[in-house]
């Protein structure tokens, strides 16, 4: 796991730590799922799902971290995939869930929050418009927006992409 702002005040640790992670896009089982997994393995930037991870300064029991992301309500439905690929808006869902630890791959430390980051994320999620449209209002916009709210850092994904050298 790398810090993308190593020489920056925003990257100093203290308070709740904020990370960005990339995972394969979810798809219907079979060839579509294989394609998404391959794209992730090959570092095809535009075919990855991005999410924000919060590691509380005072960890809850069992050192859990919180994952916040925005995705289609039914990401594995073939009709949802066709709607998304055609550029149409689909119903989305903002999710918050717990993990026992940070991912080891494609996970970047992007800064710290001076506020209670989980509370900030919950309030951010309440105001987030849930109609998803790829390239206009998707997981990238959500990730950039939540990271900016938590750390003050703008357009974090563009910065990660530039230093990670991904296509």
Three-state SS sequence of 72-134: ECCCCCHHHHHHHHCCCCEEEEEEEEEECCCCCCCEEEEEEECCCHHHHHHHHHHHCCCEEEC
Rounded CA-CA distance 89/47 in Å is: 18
Rounded CA-CA distance 86/103 in Å is: 32
- Per-residue confidence (pLDDT) for residue 127, from 0 to 100: 97
- Per-residue confidence (pLDDT) for residue 24, from 0 to 100: 77
Predicted confidence (pLDDT) at residue 89 exceeds the cutoff of 90: yes
- Supply the mean pLDDT for the chain: 83
Predicted confidence (pLDDT) at residue 159 exceeds the cutoff of 90: yes
- 95 forms beta bridges with 69
Among left, alpha and beta (phi > 0; psi -120 to 50; other), residue 152 is: left
pLDDT band for position 79 (cuts 50, 70, 90): confident
- Per-residue confidence (pLDDT) for residue 10, from 0 to 100: 44
| Distance spanning both ends of the chain, measured CA to CA | 19
Average pLDDT over residues 84-89: 86
Average pLDDT over residues 58-85: 84
pLDDT band for position 54 (cuts 50, 70, 90): very high
Predicted confidence (pLDDT) at residue 71 exceeds the cutoff of 60: yes
Other CB atoms within 10 A of residue 117 CB: 25
Q: DSSP E strands: which ranges in 37-78?
A: 48-55, 65-72
Q: What is the pTM of this model?
A: 0.83
């Amino acid at each position: 796991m790398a810090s993308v702002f190593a020489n920056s005040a925003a990257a100093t640790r203290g308070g709740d730590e904020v990370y960005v992670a990339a995972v394969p896009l979810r798809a219907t089982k079979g060839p579509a799922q294989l394609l998404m997994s391959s794209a992730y393995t090959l570092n095809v930037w535009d075919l990855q799902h991005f999410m924000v991870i919060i590691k509380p300064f005072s960890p809850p029991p069992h050192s859990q971290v919180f994952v916040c992301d925005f995705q289609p309500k039914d990401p594995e439905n073939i009709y949802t995939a066709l709607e998304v690929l055609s550029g149409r808006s689909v119903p989305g869902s903002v999710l918050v869930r717990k993990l026992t630890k940070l991912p080891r791959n494609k996970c970047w430390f992007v800064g710290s929050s001076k506020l209670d980051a989980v509370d900030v994320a919950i309030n951010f999620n309440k105001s987030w418009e849930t109609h998803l449209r790829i390239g206009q209002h998707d997981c990238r916009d959500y990730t950039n927006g939540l990271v900016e709210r938590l750390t003050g850092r703008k357009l974090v994904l563009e910065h990660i992409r530039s230093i990670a050298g991904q296509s």
